[in-house]
Amino acid sequence: MEAGRADAQHGGLMAATTYVCTISHVARVLGEDPDLLEAIVSTDDNLAYGSIVSVQTGREEYLTALTDQGIDELRDMLLSARVSVEEWHRFLEDFVGEPDIIARVKDQPLR
């Protein structure tokens, strides 16, 4: 998806194009559970300001998307959490908190 840009010929400013990726795409790229990623990014404070973007897809429909910076932060966060089984379980309790998601991803092998 592409952020809007003003037309320079009509006196508007040119803005840099920013591309974002949906959570489902990021999950496929990272090999992660989409619900796990949704749970992590559902709290804006888990990633840096501007890393999480809401994209309106309909009148009252929105998708969560991540910038490249957000994807890198999320990847690093998950890698750091998987240093040990204990750290991974603590991470899930702290950042996810949803029992069904935790149960589904808790026993995935560390990478």
**pLDDT at site 3:** 47
Mean pLDDT of 76-100: 92
Q: Which of 12-21, 56-65, 89-98 has the lowest mean pLDDT?
A: 12-21
Q: How far is 37 from 32, CA to CA, in rounded Å?
A: 7
- Asked if the structure places residue 12 within a domain, the reply is yes
pTM of the model: 0.79
Instruction: Provide CB contacts within 8 A for 75, sequence distance 6+.
Output: 30
Place of tokens 């029992």: 99
Q: Max alpha carbon distance in the chain (Å)? A: 58
- Asked if the structure places residue 88 within a domain, the reply is yes
- Asked if the structure places residue 1 within a domain, the reply is no
**What are the two backbone dihedrals, phi and then psi, of residue 46, each rounded to the nearest 5 degrees?**
-75, -20
- Taking alpha carbons only, the member of 104, 95, 56 closest to residue 74 is 95
- Asked if the structure places residue 3 within a domain, the reply is no
Residue 69 sits in which domain range? 8-105
In the chain, the number of structural domains is 1
What's the pLDDT tens digit per position in 50-67? 899 999 999 999 999 999
